[in-house]
Amino acid sequence: MRPQTPLVALVVVALVVVGCGRSGSNNEVGGDVATSATQAASGDFGSLQGVCGPGTPTGSPAQGVTAQNINVGVFTDVGFTKNPEFVDAAKVFTSWCNDAGGINGRKLVATTRDSRIFQVQQRMLESCDEDFAIVGGGAAFDGTGVEDRLSCLLPAFPAQAVEVANIGSDLQVETSGGGHSYNPYVPYQRWLLTEAYPDSASSVGIIAGDLPLTKTIAAELAEGLSATGATITYNDLYPPVGVSDWTPYAQAIKNKRVRGLVFLGDYRDLAKLEQVLTTIDYKPDWIDANSNAYSPAFLELLGTSAAAQNNLADLGGTYPLERASANPATQQVLDLFAKYEPTAKVTLPVLRAFSAWLVFAESAASCSDTVTRRCVYDAARTQTAWTGGGLTAPIDLSGADTPLACFNVEQLTPSGWQPAAFQPNDGAYRCGDAPYRLTSDYGRPTTLADVGKSLSDLT
């Protein structure tokens, strides 16, 4: 249960339809692929200096590393969803980094590991045979490949982790994490229920897709809401095969007098539900649309309901895209996409992917010529206030179970998403609210010990 709701929603919608978007056609990007650059690009990113740059590398110190290249895998479900966010991010990042000279002279080569929803284990075995690490991606059923990844001692730097078995698993550095034993949304929920809309605490509802993963996350959300003082008066599931008429759900929400509604699923379904709520003249005090809805597409689908309903979303400490001009790191991502992949969309998952790529690249660069898995992994774990050069609020990467320290809330207006009045105290973020550790057992992440390994085996 982390800020990974785009992939959580994908689990729901994947069983129904193939999403819209451009298909990723290149399996491998980077390396000796020519670019249009006429001179070396700067290897600086945001506040990070010299992330990428030239050098004179020698030898092959680890699998996937040669004197010329560093080969990494990028997990994605693009073959099913047709959503190329992680593929696009890999192309843009590696193109920029390689134009700047690579990792001390070694070019980054990113191979797309397209799991097509249900082929995670197959792609993981391929990655085990060929890649130095996994970087900047994610897959809806990522938990099915963790044991294989740990068995082959393959480090991971994902954009997002989804399933319980993978969140906080060993040899994995999560730049958009939050600690597997914590509910990262409680500070946001606490703001909703005790400051912004205190009267709503008397009647809060949850609706989620009827799948094991989403039901687990809904249970974690319910625990956090209850701990914050909410009374759960409505808790329902909807079939992942689709809902032909949202009227019964909307009517039930109205009958229960739900004042705060948490939706866990695809934003297209939420738009349909909200249209019905508007039609029957019912408006909760707030709707937690989750970060999956943080896109212009949600506004377009809502139509007139955009003004009729109050949608909010917690971005988990990622700087908002609509304010990019005020934040050099976010603006740099937009500029790099305009240069290297101008038809691609920059989204919240893209920003998280960039942060993952950056911590991998900076860690690898710190290893100089001897780029080994142990060196890169250990270097990443030294980051105690990682921001991706300014893409996010500070995140402590030194351990696998560290709670997020900051959050930031967006509110949907008729003109688009904008920061809500959530009283930020550290720039664009609100930091320092007490974290909440989950008390019930929702499973645990996979460890090296589970596959008969230890950290001492990593070289």
pLDDT band at 213 (very low <50, low <70, confident <90, very high): confident
Q: Which residue type is seen at 121? A: Q
- What pLDDT does residue 1 have? 41
- What pLDDT does residue 107 have? 98
Interacting residues of 222 by C-beta distance below 8 A, sequence separation 6+: 206, 232, 235
Reported as a single tens digit per residue, the pLDDT across 424-451 is 999 999 999 999 999 999 999 999 999 9
Average pLDDT over residues 350-361: 98
Residue-averaged pLDDT of the chain: 92
Give me the phi and psi of 155, to 5 degrees please. Answer: -70, 150
Reported as a single tens digit per residue, the pLDDT across 166-209 is 999 999 999 997 899 999 999 999 999 999 999 999 999 999 99
- What pLDDT does residue 241 have? 82
CB 404 within 8 A of CB 316: yes
pLDDT band at 28 (very low <50, low <70, confident <90, very high): low
Tokens matching residue 377: 């992994």
- What pLDDT does residue 40 have? 65
- What pLDDT does residue 305 have? 84
| CA quadruple 292, 296, 299, 300: dihedral, nearest 10 | -120
Neighbouring CB atoms inside 10 A of 284's CB total 22
> Which run of H or E residues covers position 351?
helix 348-366
- What pLDDT does residue 302 have? 94
Name the pTM for this structure.
Answer: 0.92
- What pLDDT does residue 380 have? 98
Share above pLDDT 90 across residues of the chain, in percent, rounded to a whole number: 88
Share above pLDDT 70 across residues of the chain, in percent, rounded to a whole number: 91
Question: What secondary structure does DSSP assign to 80-140, as a single string?
Answer: HH---HHHHHHHHHHHHHHHTTTBTTBEEEEEEEE-TTT-HHHHHHHHHHH-SEEES---T
- What pLDDT does residue 4 have? 42
* Cα distances (angstroms) measured from residue 146 to each of 101, 153, 397, 450, 451: 33, 10, 19, 10, 10
From first CA to last CA, the distance across the chain in angstroms is 31
Reported as a single tens digit per residue, the pLDDT across 311-343 is 999 999 999 999 999 999 999 999 999 999 999
- What pLDDT does residue 231 have? 98
Neighbouring CB atoms inside 10 A of 83's CB total 23
CB 457 within 8 A of CB 203: no
CB 153 within 8 A of CB 458: yes
pLDDT band at 419 (very low <50, low <70, confident <90, very high): very high
Neighbouring CB atoms inside 10 A of 212's CB total 10
Average pLDDT over residues 58-87: 97
Contacts of range 266-270, beta carbons closer than 8 Å, 24 or more positions apart: 266/9, 266/10, 266/12, 266/13, 266/209, 266/292, 267/9, 267/292, 267/293, 267/295, 267/297, 267/298, 267/301, 268/13, 268/301, 269/12, 269/13, 269/238, 269/243, 270/298
Tokens matching residue 353: 């992917």
Q: Which of 17 and 48 is assigned the larger pLDDT?
A: 48
Counting beta carbons within 10 angstroms of the beta carbon of residue 196, is it exposed (0 to 12), middle (13 to 18) or buried (19 or more)? Answer: buried
pLDDT band at 7 (very low <50, low <70, confident <90, very high): very low
Is the confidence at residue 84, as pLDDT, over 80? Answer: yes
Reported as a single tens digit per residue, the pLDDT across 118-150 is 999 999 999 999 999 999 999 999 999 999 999
Is the confidence at residue 26, as pLDDT, over 60? Answer: no
Question: For the chain, what percentages of helix, strand and coil (3-state, to nearest 5) are there?
Answer: 35, 15, 45
Neighbouring CB atoms inside 10 A of 243's CB total 16
Is the confidence at residue 408, as pLDDT, over 90? Answer: yes
Q: Give the sign of the dihedral formed by CA 129, CA 131, CA 132, CA 138.
A: negative
Query: Of 98-107, 237-246, 310-319, 407-416, which gets the smallest average pLDDT?
Result: 237-246
CB 95 within 8 A of CB 11: no
Reported as a single tens digit per residue, the pLDDT across 223-264 is 999 999 999 999 999 998 889 999 999 999 999 999 999 999
pLDDT band at 15 (very low <50, low <70, confident <90, very high): very low
